[in-house]
Structure 1
Amino acid sequence: MTADTRIHADQVDAATNELDKKRKTRLNKLQKRLRREVGQAIEAFNMIEAGDKVMVCLSGGKDSYAMLDILLNLQKSAPVDFELVAVNLDQKQPGFPEHVLPEYLASIGVPYHIVERDTYSIVKEVVPEGKTTCALCSRLRRGTLYGFADEIGANKIALGHHRDDILETFFLNMFYGGKLKSMPPKLVSDDGKNMVIRPLAYAREKDIAEYAELKQFPIIPCNLCGSQENLQRQVIKEMLQGWDKTNPGRIETMFRALCNVVPSHLADTALFDFKSLQLGFPHGIADPAALAGFRAESDEESSSGNGGVQTMERIDILSL
């Protein structure tokens, strides 16, 4: 090796080491942020309690990989004992790499199940060519996962929806469904048998995407619905991303709004008793008990950071 070759090799090594150092620094920063946000969501909504068996649903996408990774990280230092079991629904999509998830889950030592259900054939048979498949696919997937949670005795079902998903769903329901409705961070199923939690509710999609890239998760693309063009959700996503670029902070403000609802200033008569409002009483409410629970000064109660999520002085599940 000549002197010039040796110098060049040393320069390459130095540059590689510098890039690796920056990557590790960025990864640690993102992990701390996601860990904090997941911990805050768990604390705020009492998502995980002592003795819980949490079924972590994995699709093979960036969100569910990140959710499992952060939950495993929190599990090590949490003040309460809870169990995590990873579950993937193999929907028998053509070309689905069945080996990827089992190999990954075995490598990190987490208990897991692969549930095989040919929902793909059902969706393709029922949904006309050219129509979006998401609605039927999600219903079939949800029903299968709910049933399997009962089989393995899991009392919580963790889904990888993040803050952006929650906002997108809100606008989808408002624009196309005529409802002010979104994905709550915690939900009991219609039949009362299953409790769904969304630990990534406070996390930003762009942070999750970068974290997944840095962690080099073995991402599996969805060939059934992910490749469909002109989905209503994709239109909403692009709208929000545009707002985020042109108006930094708007996404945080909108999420803060979802956490600070004032029913008396909307128009849902089932949610607020407008008919009984009377002059001579604060806010027109004659019943002191009703007044006690009325959030008339919601602006004062909101706080900054995490899109308006209240920051706790002490969050037990985090041992930072």
Structure 2
Amino acid sequence: MGELDRLRQRLLGKVKTAAKNYGIFEDGDHILVCLSGGKDSYTLLDMLLELQRVSPFELKLTAFHLDQKQPGYPEGVLRAYLEEQPLPFEICEEDTYSVVQEKLAPDATPCSLCSRMRRGIIYRRAEALGCNKIALGHHRDDSIETLLLNLFYSGRTQGMPARFTTDDGRFQVIRPLILAAEDEIATYAALRGFPIIPCNLCGSVEGKRKFVKRLLNDLETTIPHVRHSLIAAMGNVKPSHLLDNDLRSLAEDAAAPVLAGACAVEPELF
């Protein structure tokens, strides 16, 4: 087995683990697989196609790409790639680039406005296509960086979940690569030779997320498994030892029946 096959199996194993741990897939799912043209979403599509082949569940996949009319966008590259894949796809053209450039202040980063517009388009197309789930290519490092960004800049303990329901209740958004490391995805994408399409908006912005990525790289020189520890910590939360009153109340309520039961049987132990 060559390096590509070994890496494919390792990444697929992490997708299967995430699916089992977080209940990402259900029988009969119709999943809109969002394909940006970057290394993560290409890898996501590869993994889901392989999972569809071996899964005991009936999974329907539809690939979706949004052409945002950015300067230098390579016309036809992604369409040619998708035409070779064994699944239906849709390419939607919306000039969100011009809107972002027009509405954004010169010193502001475009990511927030761009993502809101993109999200609205994705939700509309998911509904029109009859999809109940939307798959995004965020990976382990994305979730860790989001956690640190929220801790440092927003005073909030929040990362990226493997699965969540949209506010309007229409869809579940899933992140099958949530346990996969970015460096492994980058290696896999290079070995597969995916036709990468760069983002001329966020890809050229030196922002807070890049600072956090550099910080993690620096930490890894003295704490080699810091990313592994951080993603593990997100699934190993002790609500009673935090300062969130709502979480503490929930933890106390959950513990009360256990404690009551312990008290009821305690005399029998002596």
Q: Is TM (by shorter chain) over 0.5?
A: yes
Residues 243 and 251 in structure 1, CA contact (< 8 A), matched pair in contact too: no
2:256 aligned residue: 287
Residues 159 and 197 in structure 1, CA contact (< 8 A), matched pair in contact too: yes
2:160 aligned residue: 183
Give the 3-state SS of the residue equivalent to 1:122 in structure 2: helix
1:171 aligned residue: 148
2:208 aligned residue: 232
How many angstroms does 1:47 deviate by?
1.0
- Equivalent-residue separation in structure 1 for 2:48 and 2:226 (angstroms): 28
Deviations 1:7-53 (A, max 9, x none): xxxxxxxxxxxxxxxxx711111101000000111111111111110
- Equivalent-residue separation in structure 1 for 2:169 and 2:100 (angstroms): 26
How many angstroms does 1:273 deviate by?
1.9
Does residue 271 in structure 1 map to residue 247 in structure 2? yes
2:196 aligned residue: 219
Question: 2:6 is matched with which residue: 29, 45, 57?
Answer: 29
2:69 aligned residue: 92
Deviations 1:121-167 (A, max 9, x none): 11101111232100100111111101110010000000000000000
- Equivalent-residue separation in structure 2 for 1:261 and 1:97 (angstroms): 44
Larger radius of gyration between Structure 1 and Structure 2: 1
1:203 aligned residue: 180
2:222 aligned residue: 246
AA aligned opposite 1:248? P
Give the 3-state SS of the residue equivalent to 2:42 in structure 1: helix
Question: 1:149 is matched with which residue: 118, 126, 129?
Answer: 126
Segments of 4+ moved more than 6 angstroms: none
Query: Given the superposition, is the C-alpha separation of residues 285 and 150 from structure 1 closer, same or farther in structure 2, using an over 3 Å criterion?
Result: closer
Per mean C-alpha deviation after superposition, the further-off stretch among 73-82 and 55-64 is: 73-82
AA aligned opposite 1:288? P
Report the aligned-residue RMSD: 1.9
Deviations 1:157-189 (A, max 9, x none): 000000000000000011011100111010111
Does residue 119 in structure 1 map to residue 88 in structure 2? no
- Equivalent-residue separation in structure 1 for 2:28 and 2:198 (angstroms): 34
AA aligned opposite 1:96? Y
Does residue 256 in structure 1 map to residue 225 in structure 2? no
Query: Within 5 A, what are the aligned runs for 1:11-22?
Result: none
Residues 66 and 212 in structure 1, CA contact (< 8 A), matched pair in contact too: yes
1:307 aligned residue: none
AA aligned opposite 2:257? P
What TM-score results when the alignment is normalised by the length of structure 1? 0.78
Query: Given the superposition, is the C-alpha separation of residues 290 and 155 from structure 1 closer, same or farther in structure 2, using an over 3 Å criterion?
Result: farther
Deviations 1:241-298 (A, max 9, x none): 2222332111111111100001000010011129x97xxxxxx988316889xxxxxx
Query: Given the superposition, is the C-alpha separation of residues 236 and 290 from structure 1 closer, same or farther in structure 2, using an over 3 Å criterion?
Result: farther
Residues 189 and 196 in structure 1, CA contact (< 8 A), matched pair in contact too: yes
- Equivalent-residue separation in structure 2 for 1:268 and 1:239 (angstroms): 27
Give the 3-state SS of the residue equivalent to 2:203 in structure 1: coil
